[in-house]
């Protein structure tokens, strides 16, 4: 079990600056949150590669900025739009390969989109097949505004797609969906591959580790018992802290907590 940080924590700091901040502090595992189309282009990828060469950092996953477009791209009745959406996401697959990432995070359809489960699962599986053919895996994340907010939906997805579907568990999205992160983990089971982690306190659901009440830390021993081999990534918003140094402190707190369990 590994510990890392998403560049999303630094938004709206430019992606390359966020990456440099983490590399310079020797954070070993990183998720890159892309923020615009030009960041998919080869010259920009080379800039990121140069930054990565300065440390011993591994990019595990990539989060697309087009997550909010996924209901329109992939879950309408307009087939050509789905095909064009696949072409767009192939650029993300190429980016992942160039940067060394294994996973692409997927939000999916909004909870109010009129899309039958069978169609959703079929479209996800098809897009995931394109990803796998490029050596990448699409990970369905639980998101409060999406169909994936629901435990029953995740369970049906597993039943329909079997071992071909894997998941990202986001603790803050669980809280916003009024779902226990531990209960969501139980449903995702051994098919969870990635964790987006933040602490909470009262109504604040997106705090750095060590800044909340610590109850969500109870997820970590369960992951260990489950023999989880992936990474636990800190993902918070800019309003969750004052200084960039707090992110590194949160990382060090979580890394120490996880190490003491091993």
pLDDT tens-digit readout, 7-59 = 999 999 999 999 999 999 999 999 999 999 999 999 999 999 999 999 999 99
Structural tokens at position 93? 């697959």
pLDDT tens-digit readout, 143-171 = 999 999 999 999 999 999 999 999 999 99
* Nearest residue to 107 (alpha-carbon basis) of 48, 36, 9, 33: 33
Please determine, for residue 100, whether its predicted confidence score (pLDDT) is greater than 70: yes
Per the structure, the count of domains in the chain is 1
Please determine, for residue 196, whether its predicted confidence score (pLDDT) is greater than 70: yes
Q: Which residues are within 8 A (CB) of 9 and not within 5 positions of it... i.e. 6 or more apart?
A: 18, 234, 235, 236, 237, 238, 240, 247
Coil, helix or strand at residue 140 = strand
**Domain span including residue 52:** 2-261
Report whether 99 contacts 49 (CB < 8 A): yes
Report the C-alpha gap between 54 and 218 in whole angstroms. Answer: 35
Report whether 16 contacts 39 (CB < 8 A): no
**pLDDT value of residue 262:** 66
pLDDT tens-digit readout, 214-254 = 999 999 999 999 999 999 999 999 999 999 999 999 999 99
Q: Which residues are within 8 A (CB) of 256 and not within 5 positions of it... i.e. 6 or more apart?
A: none
**pLDDT value of residue 261:** 84
Report the DSSP pairing between strands 137-141 and 231-234.
Answer: unpaired
Tokens 């990183």, residue located: 30
Read off the CATH number of the domain in which 255 is found: 3.20.20.150
Phi (first) and psi of residue 205, to 5 degrees:
-105, 10
């Amino acid at each position: 079990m590994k510990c890392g940080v998403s560049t999303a924590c630094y938004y709206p700091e430019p992606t390359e600056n966020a990456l440099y901040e983490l590399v310079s502090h020797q954070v070993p595992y990183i998720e890159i949150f892309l923020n615009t189309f030009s960041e998919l282009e080869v010259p920009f990828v080379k800039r990121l590669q140069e930054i990565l060469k300065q440390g011993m950092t591994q990019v595990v996953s990539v989060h697309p900025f087009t997550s909010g477009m996924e209901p329109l791209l992939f879950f309408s009745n307009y087939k050509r739009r789905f095909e064009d959406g696949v072409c767009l996401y192939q650029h993300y697959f190429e980016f992942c390969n160039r940067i060394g990432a294994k996973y692409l995070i997927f939000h999916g359809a909004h909870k109010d989109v009129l899309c039958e489960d069978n169609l959703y699962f079929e479209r996800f599986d098809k897009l995931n097949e394109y990803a796998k053919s490029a050596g990448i895996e699409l990970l369905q994340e639980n998101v409060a505004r999406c169909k994936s907010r629901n435990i029953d939906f995740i369970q049906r997805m597993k039943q329909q797609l079997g071992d071909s579907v894997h998941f990202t568990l986001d603790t803050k999205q669980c809280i916003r969906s009024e779902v226990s992160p531990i209960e969501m983990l139980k449903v995702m089971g051994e098919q969870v591959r990635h964790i987006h982690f933040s602490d909470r306190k009262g109504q604040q659901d997106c705090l750095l580790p060590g800044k909340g009440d610590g109850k969500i830390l109870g997820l970590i021993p369960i992951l260990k018992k489950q023999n989880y081999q992936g990474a636990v990534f800190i993902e918070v918003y800019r309003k969750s802290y004052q200084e960039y140094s707090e992110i590194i402190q949160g990382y060090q707190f979580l890394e120490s907590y996880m190490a003491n369990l091993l």
